[in-house]
Amino acid sequence: MYERTRATLTELEKSDWFSAVGRRDTEAAIVMSSWKEAIDSCSSDEWQDLLLEAANQYREKLVSISRERFELWNSVVRELKAVTMPLVTSKIEHVQTVHQLPKVFADTVNWDILHACAEAEYADVYPPGFFASQAYWYVHGHFPCGWQGNFPEGKLIIY
């Protein structure tokens, strides 16, 4: 694992995820008012499709730039999951229990954090983008959970 990926993980570990949910502290995103709204948004087909498309586009760029490095993708992801899944579990456990959040919440956070770390791991091939921006919101206490408008036009939705 590259140092830049370790630095990403360290920043994620040190931050207080979900400490700013619902706080209208930015003009850069639409801020939801409740966990129910956030879960409805993150579980929408549109948001789930956008997350998948963002991951696919990143992988397509990787393969077009360096097929050799891309061929390591599955082993890199396995290595990252060994670190990201326990991190996510520890960060979401309390809020998931207190607010009785569904599995889609944990799945979405796991996907975001895994892919943010994958972008860091491959940053020497292609610069981090969508998932690095997702990680930014976790570090700043929010939950990125949707998009309003036709991507890339429009605005991110956070809680």
Query: What SS3 class is residue 78?
Result: helix
Q: Over the stretch 55-95, which tens digit does the pLDDT of each residue have?
A: 999 999 999 999 999 999 999 999 999 999 999 999 999 99
The model's pLDDT over 98-112, given as tens digits with 9 standing for 90+, comes to: 999 999 999 999 999
Structure tokens at 17: 């995820």
Q: pTM of the entire structure? A: 0.95
Output the CA–CA distances (angstroms, integers) from residue 62 to 75, 78, 102, 122, in the order listed: 15, 17, 33, 8
* Cα distance from N-terminal residue to C-terminal residue, the chain: 31
Q: Which of the four pLDDT bands, split at 50, 70 and 90, describes residue 130?
A: very high
**pLDDT recorded at residue 139:** 98
According to the model, what pLDDT value does residue 81 have?
98
Check pLDDT > 90 for residue 157: yes
